[in-house]
Structures are given as structure tokens and as C-alpha cells.
Structure 1
Amino acid sequence: MYKNLTIDFSRTSIYLCPLRWKSTVKRIDKILIANRGEIACRIIRTAKKMGIKTVAVFSEADKNALHVALANEAYEIGPSPSSQSYLKGRTIIETAKKFNCQAVHPGYGFLSENVEFAEDCQKEGVIFIGPPASAIRDMGIKSTSKLIMSKAGVPIIEGYHGEDQSVDNLKNEARKIGFPVMIKAVRGGGGKGMRIARSEEDFEEALESARTESQKAFSDSVVLLEKFVEEPRHVEVQVFADAHGNVVHLYERDCSVQRRHQKIIEEAPAPGLSWEVRNELGAAAVRAAQAVGYLGAGTVEFILDRKAHNFYFMEMNTRLQVEHPITEMITGTDLVEWQIKVASGEELPVKQKDIPLRGHAFEARIYAEDPQGGFLPGAGPLEYLKTPLPSEDVRIETGVRQGDDVSVFYDPMIAKLVVWGNDRFEALSKLKVKLLEYNIAGLETNINFLLDLANHGEFEAGNVHTNFIKDHEDTLFKNVALNEVQLIQAATSIVLLDKLDELKVASFKNDSFNPFTVEANFRVNYHHIRNIQLQFDDKEYNIKIKFLNKQGEYEVSCDNGITWTQVSANLDTKNNENVLVSSINGHRSRINVFRNSDILAVFDKNGKTQFVIPHITYSTEDDALASSSGNKAVAPMPGILDKLLVKVGDKVKKGDSLFVLIAMKMEYVVKATRDATISNISFNIGDSVLKDAAVIQFDEAEESA
């Protein structure tokens, strides 16, 4: 009865019709997810779509996490540090067997590229949803991978990949290569264990830092050296292979814009590439996968000359990448479903010629971090969280909800905002709009920075490279100046939020008609004036608001009553928003606002502006002296005190290293800001340290020396 049925594929959404298989070779109906956060939630979503049950594992810090709530079952595997929980391979395999899981999905990070874990899964009869251990081993050791790639005809950058890891030999090899050189952990990834030595004088400190970070992250301190290519582009190709000899690529992603050698915004396909270069990249990536007998999802990363478009193999990530959603958006695929099906023994559903490239996609990584403070990571509760509405061309990949904590123990990524458009211009326009709709308060994020980046003329033109942020520091990190409209909106918001609180109290007390409760600022035959005090960027502002009537009409002065501005305003409260609807000098606008006891956050066309609500505080003379004289070295972000490089009584010079913090799996060295003598150390190695905590005190006598 359906033989005359036709389908117009031009009208079929590529997002609603992912490519599928006909049957399953090995039955997988239950998966343990050996990960946390957004990637665990992402895997659960696809598993549910496929009718597969999921088991989540969680640490003590994650007992109330979103991935735990979404899974069919969950099991606690240890304390908060990842070394005692998410990296305990034997415990995870035992848990998988205990819950009768046929397979383990490692996500990315943690055990996803751990050779021993993949081997142990195979020994225990648990399917590892990833490549064979041999491929992980070959590609995980960068020196080995480059030899294999060279034999496979994949272009590589020359460097030192030898076994002699003595400092003298490495320094000598660096001289041969020529500075600047890149020092990279052979088992590294995600920017960890990676440092640039720009001169011979910098080399030993950079080497020690790279080794220490690599040892902590990968239990291996071996490094390789490469010539550092200034201003390259970072372009990577998504590959997929099955157990039947089929290997395909799903085009490339450009991940050039980075901070701390970590990606911050990605797009697919890479802007400005010809189809000739695109096909050459794809073919080289397929050769790379074939050379190691690959299986499943992998990413081959290349350094691309930004002008000539010559490319060189950098490394292969033998796992699903953080940025895989943009590939899914331009190809209409579900790569997690592909992973599960290939792991069960299925063939890939398509040949290379059948994989479409449609439109353009961006992914912006939303982090708890301070771009103005060197992108130092943050931690704490998400007191307020409002996201854009998901749709066919907008995805919110996250593992947190409002009220959840961003933990000091793990990566500070809050979410990934993914958008698709018919072309790059349309996709970028959507990204800008949706970033404005992503409202977070309670801790610092990089959303404003992402907005500035997306609106930068050179980024809009597609002129991206790995040095982009540094080259455009002056325009990306400009000082923010408040205007009068923002001050008026902020002050008016406080008045209306106070009124809303009064109404809530009155309703609770069943006293909604008492004018002394609900009309606190209204006076008969008198225009009450209220002073609102706010702080922004350490500057105090005093705004006067004159209440004209009960219909929301005011006069507002930002110059101590010299001039007044006519304002009408009301608060539109619904769902999780308090929207200030205001008319200022005839200009009508709608902005979202959030307030707690300490801050007021205003979300407008410029992003977030956060004010501090002043409180009366008291301090001792000693406190004032310590904070004003620079007699202490403080933690720039919350973290774990990993090393103390000085002791009480030591004399230090300006620039000397004092202590090392570990935060979000990254190492940070805090240095002296002046010549001083160490008078006190307030913490011990291994202690958790809050942001701005005074770790080391200096002798005051040195101040005048």
C-alpha cells in the first residue's frame, strides 16, 4: 500500500532524522557511564532514545548531580577527588558487572584514554565503548603516534620524541629545534602538561611545570618537544571506524580560539577552507585511523598554516570530543548512537559519499572563570540560571541546574551552547542572541567575554588562529564603563524588587491590603525620595529615586539631585525571570534582573552587569593594614594547596615562586609581588583554600626597606 510513497528530503530536518542501523549484533541494553557532568547527561539522553538503561557513578561531591538524577540507577564510588572516584577503574568495572551492564561508556577525560582500563574491560567481558587498547596506546604516546603517522603519509612537525628525559638533554634538544619550543606531555590532552618556553632562560621552569602537571593528570611525566608554530590554526577532523574495515570522516572543526591552550569556542566547518584542502584533511585523517586499526569515534588534530593552509599532524584523541555536537549539527548524526552501535558490532550506516555537510555550527563553552583575571577558574553555587530555549538549531549541553555547585574538584565548564545556521553568518548571529539569553549569577562566568569575542570584527570575518585572544587583548579586555541608563535601571530594579518582596511578605501574613506593608515608599501629598547605593568595579554610586505615584512613575537622579530623568517602570515576573520593563526618556526596554543579599545582576543587550550591594562592615586596624600594605600572598582562586616553595624566615625577591595551587586539574604558581621575608604560612600542603585566602604573610618591616 506504500509503494507509491515519496519523501521530499529537502523538507526533512537533518536533526530529526539521524542515520540508523538495521539490527544489533551484540545485545546492549544496559550501559554504565564512567563519567559525570554534561557528557554523562548527553550519553543518558541518547541511551534513553535507544531504549537502553543507564547506570551512573558519582563521587561524594556529585551525590545530588544532574547525571545522577537522570540515570535509571546510580552508585557512589568514592570521595570527591577524581583520583579516589572517577579514576578508580577496577571499582567502575566491578560496579558495571554488579549492575549487569554489558558495556561501559567512558565519555571524555578521566578513563576515556586509559589503556589499562580498556584492557581490563576486555578481560572482564565488559564492552568498552571506544577504540581498542592498542590504538589508545599508540595514539596516547605522542612520540609513537608521530612515527606511525609519518609512515602512513600524514604530514608531521619535526621535534624531539626521544627516551632521554634528562634536563640537560632536553635543553640541548630545545636549542637544536630553536626557541620558542612547545613542551608537551606525551600522554597529555586538554592543554594539560603543556608549556611554551620562549627562551632558554624560561626552559627549566616551564619543563618542571609541564612535568608536574602531567604527572598529576596522567601519572606520567615524560614529555616531547616541538617547534612552536606562531599563530597557527587548530583544525581537527572527526573520524569514525567500525569492525568491518569501514572508516569515514565527518568533516573538520576549527578550534583555534583558545585560552590556556584550551578550546573556548569551536565551529564546523572551518572557515575559509577550499574543498580541496577539506578533502585532503579528511583523507589524511582516515589514513591516520586506518594506520592504528581504529574503532569508534576519534579526532585527528592538525596544525594548519593560517595563510598557506598547509597542515601537520598534532595528535589523535581516541575518544568522543567535547565539541562533537557541532559535527552532529552539520551532518545530521548522533555520534553517541554511532559509538554504541559500532561497539555492539554493527557496520557504519553510510559510506563517505553519503555524509552531508549542511550549514554551519558554533559551540561556545560556558565556564565558571574570570576572563579579566587571566581566566582563573571559579567555584561555588549557581544561584541563578536561565538558559535559552532548546530547539532544532539550538542545543544546551549541560550537567547542572540552578542551585547546583560548580566544584573545585572538577573542570569548571557549566555548559556548551551549540547553534546551527544555514551559513556562518546566520549561525554566528544566532550564537550572539543566545549568549545574551544565557543568564547566570552567583559566580563569575565567561559569557560576556564570549559575546565580545563573537562580536569582534576579525572573528566575524573568520580570521581565527591560536594567538587570537592575545593579539586582540586591547579590544577583548577593554574597561567597562557604566552609562546613566544602566544606573537608572539598576536602581529602579531594586525599588521594584523590594516592592515584590513586600507583597510576598504581606501575602504570607494575609495582610495584602495594609498600606503600611505594601506601599512602603508611598506618601500622601509628598514625593518620597529614596537613596540607592551600589558599587561597580570598586566605585560607589548614589542614585536618588523620587516616587511620583503608585503607577510606577519616577524621577531619577544620578548626580545627587542636580538633574532628574523621567522614568516609568514595572516588573514582569514569570517562571524564573524578573523582567524590568522601563521607559527612560521615551526609550522602552526589557531586561532581566536578579538580586540576592550581596549583588544585583542586570542582563541587557551588553550581557551581564553585576553590581555589589554595599553592607556596613567593621574591620580591625590590623586587618586594614594587612589588606592595604600588600603584606600577604593570597589564593587567586579556590583550589588545593599542592606545594609550598618557601618556609617561615625565607627572604624572597619580587617574582619568586611562593606556592602552587591545583584547581580544576590545572596547576597555578603564585609569585611574590615584592621583596619580602616570610613571617607566617597559614595552610598546609593538601589543604583546601578559598579564593582570596591569605596563604602566606610577609614581614611588615620589609615594606619600607
Structure 2
Amino acid sequence: MLFDRVLIANRGEIAVRIARTLRALGVESVAVHTPSDAGARHVREADLAVEVPGYLDIEAVVAAALATGARAVHPGYGFLAENGAFARRCAEAGLVFVGPPAAAIDAMGDKIRAKATVSAAGVPVVPGAAEPGDALEEWRDFPALIKPSAGGGGKGMVLVRSAAELPDALESARRTARAAFGDGTLLIERYVERPRHIEIQVLADTHGDVVHLGERECSLQRRHQKIVEEAPSPFLTGETRAAMGAAAVEAARAVGYVGAGTVEFIVDGTTGAYHFMEMNTRLQVEHPVTELVTGLDLVELQLRVAAGERLPFAQDDVRLDGHAVEARVYAEDPARGFLPTGGRVLLLREPGGAAPGPVAGGGAVVRVDSGLAEGGVVGSEFDPMLSKVIAWAPDRASALRTLDRALSRTAVLGVVTNVPFLRALIAHPAVEAGELDTGLVERVLPELVPADGTPPDDVLAAAALVFHAMPQGDDPWEVTDGWRVGECAWTTWRLESRAGVHAVPVRGLPEESAEVRLGGQSLPARVRRDGSGLAVTLAGRTEHYLCVRRGDTLWLGRDGAAWSFTRHLIGDPGDRARAAGAGDGVVRSPMPGTVLVVKTQPGERVSEGQPLVIVEAMKMEHTVTAPCDGVIADLPAQAGRPVDMDAVLAVVTPEGAAASRATPDGVRP
């Protein structure tokens, strides 16, 4: 018998997705939330909600379940999902943990122990060394990959190519591991050049049945974080799929696994040799692609297994139909090195539906798993993933085309996202050909990201026209049609984007007949309302935009991309001070976040490129360096203090400059 009420110990898109299946099964859902998440979408879509101090507070989460009468707890992924102590505490409180036994979590959650366990079961593993028994500082087989033993999701993983890089890499990985997982234990492994990352989805019940549901290819990564995943892999043969699936099943049996889990392998893209990497004892972010090609709801199966039911099918019953591809939408700015962003969601458009499966009818399907809602705030407290856009089609090429169309209809105005980057990535020839490896994205990055993020000329023209068409105040004489005796005058709009300030001259009435001057040419232009957006015609060509204006800031969206512009008045600075590297020696935060480490002090002599401050946002570290040789004249940054984007972290007086150089007035983190 299924549970009548389940608490979801998570937030964001996965909490919304779990609640969707609970609702379909007639099971009530209980959400937990921190004070800042009180208005979040996952709270609004649950039947009940309880405030907790934090998502990692085991006692508070268990108390919330007991207080609301929940019989089971679903941890989703991240947070407490792979915490053996949480699973044990649930059992002590009489709650069913929707996941594997605590012993299996402990065995597979520790990468060092996991490798030993599966190796004993005959599963091939990657050669490496591990703490506490091995001195990682003595490792000399490069390139190598450092990993937190207790970690997952790519956090804390560092690629090291020489012995000289090793000490700093170990320090950084250990610091991230402690912050993200509460455990600084590390391991190091031989790094396979141009590997493919392929994982096998397994399911096991309490009756001894264990099956696999095929594989997912997760080779498209950046900094060890998955970006695009697909099922099945375009690389595996049926024979290799069967062998890897059997190995994954044995790995699950070796620890008495129960529920849904994923066994991850590193696969040599040349030889096809595969090695166990780790097992994730939870639902994976990329589980929707498996659901779409198998027609199964993995969350429903998790709940049924947790309730003691037997798996309703055997291995021979599993069929993979068609192809599915998923793209992760992140709050990050590709033009600024993928640094985390944030802000209020002013306008939201998401394509497709939200059903987990099955697929029927043979046509293309688009699914969106999202935790976003208009009016919600994206902050720097949590992981920057906002949603997932998933496409299914009968074949891989059609699935990629369907995903691209879906991304082109995705709009999040108010928050900079990676959607244009995702579209460029899935259209790259290597991706279309299925020639993937975990280093591909980094190698082709210059082809995927604009050099400076400057908006296209037609977008700049559209922004200027919108400002020109909208009233600027209550004064009736502030009409911007440029009328005067003889001919219309030009009004030059100075618009600031994240790439700098742009001057765009406009004259006339945009809703009737106007002109825009671009590149020395005067082009006829017109703006008209188009449903919830605007249609902008420039030199006879019409583009459709979503549009939101808040005071002097304008957001435009088109084809999955979004741009923001701020109106500059006479006397405003010509360029906003940029991040670290400014020629005036002022070092600014490249993203909103928290100062993690300050590596210098006032009066210290520093060299160009020397690390000064480490800023963290959404569990991502960014090292800010000295823009020039000189002396630290001022150091507003303090460890543990929050900072805004472009806040001053330090001021370096360049060599030869006056030591009395001042910090910009009134600018502090």
C-alpha cells in the first residue's frame, strides 16, 4: 500500500517534479522551506508546507515530517539525499526513507570505499590513491583528477597536469569538499584523456530483484558539471550496453542496494574500455531522459519500492524507444566565464509539458522540469540550475532539433541564463555527430560564447526604439519624437549592457515611422505591440521580442536569449567599472556571493595574476587576482562577508604610482 502523505526534503525543480508524481498517485505532498524560500514554487505546489532553518537540518526536517503526519520522506537529489545519518534518523523516527538503506549510502557515498566494494565484485575500477592511507602529495602519474571522497555533482573536482600544480589543487579541493560535504577526505585517480562519461540507471526492490534501465551519456560537461545528457548513448553497442548494465547490477547487489541509483563509468572513447567511477545512491538530475525512452516514472517506482512492492517488470521487459536529450538551464553568464548570476524573474516563458512519460504516438515531445515562477528571486544561496528542458523524438537528430526549438522558446527575463550557449552547443558539428568526450566543451568554448557578450546591432536598435517610444516622465514636453522646425532631430540613447555602454541615435515616432543610425547608416524602423511582446521592424525585417521595463532598466528576450539595458543620462560614467583586471588597480567581485578566503593584507606587495581573494557563490569558487604589480592600498574584502557583483574587494596601487592612491568614494562590499 502506498503512503498517504510524503515529505519532500528538497527545493526547486526536483521538489516540484516529485510533487507532480505524488499528485498523480493521489498522495499528499509536504514541502519544507527556509525563510527566504517561503514564496517559492515548490512551496506553492505542495499540499502542506513547513518552515525549517535549513535544508541540511536533519532534526528540523524529521520534525516537520512527524508534525504533518507524513509517513515517508523523499530526499530528491543534493542536500540530504546521500546522507546515511539522515536515512538512519528517518528510520529511528518511524519514517520510510525513499532511497537505499543507510549502509548502502555509506558504502557508495564514500568513493574510496565504493571502489574497493565494486572491485571485489569484479567491476573494473580506475587506478588511483586515497586518503587516509595514501599521501596524495606524492602522486606522480599525471594528468590526474582529484575528487572529494564524500562528494558528487563535480563539486571539488580538480584536474592536475603536473606535480607543481598539485599542492594548490589539493588545498582547493579539500576546502570545497569541507564546505559542500562536511568532509575534506580526498582521492586521486589517473585521468583518462578524452573520456566519455556514461552512467547506468539501476532499480532494486526489497525482494532481491535488480534491473538496469540502460545508459545515459553525460559527456558534455564544463568544469566536471554536466550540461547536456542523453539516452541512449550514441557510442555504445548493444553488446557493450549489456556488459556495462550487468556490471552495474553487480555493483548494486554488492551493497544490498534498494531503490533507484546510478552507476557511473568512465569509458575510453578510443578502445571502449570502461571503469567504475562512482555510484550515486539517489535519483539523478538527468533521470528524465531515461523516463522518456523507457516510458517509466522513476519517482513512482521509488515510492512503490519504498512501500515494499516488487518491481513490476524483469530485465527482459525493459525496452529503449527513441532518443531523449536534456539541457540544464543555469543562472550563469557565459560571457563572463559562466559566473553565477541572479535576480528577480520578471517574465517567464517555458515550452512543452511536464509529464514524466510514457511517450506515445511517435511524435516529438518536449518536457520541462522547472522550479521557476514569475516574481521569484534567484539568489546565490543554492545551486545555479533553474530548470531542465528535455526533448524526445524517434531518432537522435530529431531529438536535437526538437530540443533546439524548445530552447528558442525559453525566456527568463530578469536573470541572465546559459540558454544561448546551450543552443550553440547542441548545434556544434561534433555534438551532432555524437563525437563526445568530457573535454569537448572546453575545447570548443570560443566557438560557443561571444568574445565580449556585446548585443547584436539589431537588438541595440530595438532597445533604443523601445526607450524612444516609451514616455520618460510626466512632463508633456518630454516627447522624444525629435520634432523641430525643418526636420526631426536625432536623440542619442546611451544604453548600458553587461558588455559596456552603447550610443544609438533615433529620431521620429517609433510606432509610426522612425529611423535608427547604426554603423553610419540610417535605417527605417517601427515598433508595434505584439501580444505580450513587441514587433520591431528594422530596414524591412521584423523581429519579435518579449519585453519588460522596470524604471530605467529594460529587458528584451528573443530566441532563447535575453539582454538587459540601463538608460544612461548626461553625466553618468561612460563605462561601468568592470571586474578584476581593471587598469586602475581596483579589484571588483565578478559575481554576487560570499568572500571565502582573503589571501593578502594591506601594504603587501603583490604581482600581476597573484590570487588576492576567493569569492564563492552557489558552491562555486572564483579566485580574483591582482590586475598589476603593486602594493595593496586598501582591502575592503572580509572573509565570511557577502558581496554584490562589482563590489570593491581590493585596491592595488601600481608600481611607480603614488602610495596615497584612494579607493573610489563610498564603494564597499
> After TM superposition, is the score higher than 0.5?
yes
- Structure 1 residue 585, shift from structure 2 partner: 4.2
Give the corresponding residue for 1:455. 427
Match of 1:542 among 486, 504, 511: 504
Shift of the 105–606 alpha-carbon distance from structure 1 to 2, 3 Å rule, reads closer
Give the corresponding residue for 2:263. 300
What is the one-letter code of the residue matched to 1:458? A
Match of 1:570 among 528, 537, 548: 528
* Cα deviation digits, residues 26-60 of structure 1 (max 9, x gap): x5111111111111111111111111111111112
Give the conservation status (yes or no) of the 8 Å contact 2:483–2:508. no
Whole-Å Cα distance in 2 between the matches of residues 215 and 426 of structure 1? 43
What is the one-letter code of the residue matched to 1:365? R
- Structure 1 residue 123, shift from structure 2 partner: 1.6
Whole-Å Cα distance in 2 between the matches of residues 353 and 287 of structure 1? 17
Shift of the 680–569 alpha-carbon distance from structure 1 to 2, 3 Å rule, reads closer
Give the corresponding residue for 1:67. 42
Give the corresponding residue for 2:491. 531
Match of 1:77 among 20, 27, 52: 52
Secondary structure of the structure 2 residue equivalent to 1:410: coil
Unaligned runs of 5+ in 1: 1-23, 79-84, 507-515
Whole-Å Cα distance in 1 between the matches of residues 488 and 330 of structure 2? 43
- Structure 1 residue 395, shift from structure 2 partner: 1.6
Q: Give matches, 1:593-612, under 5 Å.
A: 593-605=547-559, 607-612=561-566
Give the conservation status (yes or no) of the 8 Å contact 1:544–1:558. no
Give the corresponding residue for 1:8. none
Give the corresponding residue for 2:29. 54
Give the corresponding residue for 1:420. 392
Give the corresponding residue for 1:99. 68
Matched, 1:342 2:305: yes
Give the corresponding residue for 2:442. 470
Secondary structure of the structure 2 residue equivalent to 1:192: coil
Give the corresponding residue for 1:557. 517
Secondary structure of the structure 1 residue equivalent to 2:59: helix
Give the corresponding residue for 1:364. 327
- Structure 1 residue 667, shift from structure 2 partner: 2.7
Give the conservation status (yes or no) of the 8 Å contact 1:649–1:678. yes
Secondary structure of the structure 2 residue equivalent to 1:289: helix
Give the conservation status (yes or no) of the 8 Å contact 2:585–2:627. no
| Larger helix fraction of residues | 1
Shift of the 702–665 alpha-carbon distance from structure 1 to 2, 3 Å rule, reads farther
Whole-Å Cα distance in 2 between the matches of residues 93 and 373 of structure 1? 41
Q: Give matches, 1:641-652, under 5 Å.
A: 641-652=595-606
Give the conservation status (yes or no) of the 8 Å contact 1:297–1:320. yes
- Structure 1 residue 162, shift from structure 2 partner: 4.6
Whole-Å Cα distance in 2 between the matches of residues 565 and 379 of structure 1? 35
Whole-Å Cα distance in 1 between the matches of residues 116 and 308 of structure 2? 30
Shift of the 682–263 alpha-carbon distance from structure 1 to 2, 3 Å rule, reads same
Give the corresponding residue for 1:579. 534
Q: Give matches, 1:477-496, under 5 Å.
A: 477-479=449-451, 485-496=458-469
* Cα deviation digits, residues 389-408 of structure 1 (max 9, x gap): 42762122111212211121
Give the corresponding residue for 2:167. 204
Give the conservation status (yes or no) of the 8 Å contact 1:37–1:66. yes
Give the conservation status (yes or no) of the 8 Å contact 1:652–1:672. yes
Give the conservation status (yes or no) of the 8 Å contact 2:555–2:562. yes
Secondary structure of the structure 2 residue equivalent to 1:45: helix
Whole-Å Cα distance in 2 between the matches of residues 86 and 326 of structure 1? 27
- Structure 1 residue 210, shift from structure 2 partner: 0.5
Whole-Å Cα distance in 1 between the matches of residues 582 and 132 of structure 2? 50
- Structure 1 residue 628, shift from structure 2 partner: 5.9
- Structure 1 residue 267, shift from structure 2 partner: 1.0
Secondary structure of the structure 2 residue equivalent to 1:117: helix
Q: Give matches, 1:118-267, under 5 Å.
A: 118-164=87-133, 169-172=135-138, 174-175=139-140, 178-267=141-230
- Structure 1 residue 680, shift from structure 2 partner: 2.3
The higher radius of gyration belongs to 1
Unaligned runs of 5+ in 2: 356-364, 660-669
Matched, 1:311 2:277: no
Whole-Å Cα distance in 1 between the matches of residues 354 and 82 of structure 2? 32
Give the conservation status (yes or no) of the 8 Å contact 1:546–1:556. no
Give the conservation status (yes or no) of the 8 Å contact 2:332–2:416. yes
Give the conservation status (yes or no) of the 8 Å contact 2:482–2:508. no
Give the corresponding residue for 1:510. none
- Structure 1 residue 608, shift from structure 2 partner: 3.5
Give the corresponding residue for 1:3. none
Secondary structure of the structure 2 residue equivalent to 1:333: coil
Give me the CA root mean square deviation.
2.8
Whole-Å Cα distance in 2 between the matches of residues 464 and 260 of structure 1? 15
- Structure 1 residue 654, shift from structure 2 partner: 2.4
Give the conservation status (yes or no) of the 8 Å contact 1:249–1:285. yes
Matched, 1:692 2:665: no
Give the corresponding residue for 1:18. none
Secondary structure of the structure 1 residue equivalent to 2:156: strand
* Cα deviation digits, residues 192-245 of structure 1 (max 9, x gap): 121112111100000011111111111111111100111111111111110011
Give the conservation status (yes or no) of the 8 Å contact 1:572–1:581. no
- Structure 1 residue 65, shift from structure 2 partner: 0.9
Give the corresponding residue for 1:320. 283
Shift of the 528–386 alpha-carbon distance from structure 1 to 2, 3 Å rule, reads farther
> Quick check: 539-548 or 154-163, which moved more?
539-548
Give the conservation status (yes or no) of the 8 Å contact 1:675–1:702. no
Give the conservation status (yes or no) of the 8 Å contact 1:122–1:128. yes
Shift of the 221–488 alpha-carbon distance from structure 1 to 2, 3 Å rule, reads closer
Matched, 1:37 2:12: yes
Give the conservation status (yes or no) of the 8 Å contact 1:191–1:260. yes
Matched, 1:663 2:646: no
- Structure 1 residue 259, shift from structure 2 partner: 1.3
Whole-Å Cα distance in 2 between the matches of residues 153 and 55 of structure 1? 42
Match of 1:434 among 406, 412, 419: 406
Whole-Å Cα distance in 1 between the matches of residues 573 and 482 of structure 2? 37
What is the one-letter code of the residue matched to 2:561? G
Secondary structure of the structure 2 residue equivalent to 1:472: helix
Give the conservation status (yes or no) of the 8 Å contact 2:143–2:190. yes
- Structure 1 residue 316, shift from structure 2 partner: 0.2
Whole-Å Cα distance in 2 between the matches of residues 487 and 60 of structure 1? 39
Q: What TM-score do you get using the length of structure 1 for normalisation? A: 0.86
Shift of the 681–462 alpha-carbon distance from structure 1 to 2, 3 Å rule, reads same
Whole-Å Cα distance in 2 between the matches of residues 611 and 272 of structure 1? 44
Whole-Å Cα distance in 1 between the matches of residues 177 and 276 of structure 2? 21
Matched, 1:445 2:417: yes
**How many residue pairs were aligned?**
644
Give the corresponding residue for 1:17. none
Give the conservation status (yes or no) of the 8 Å contact 2:410–2:559. no
* Cα deviation digits, residues 229-282 of structure 1 (max 9, x gap): 111111111111100111111111111111121111111111132211222221
> Quick check: 471-480 or 528-537, which moved more?
528-537
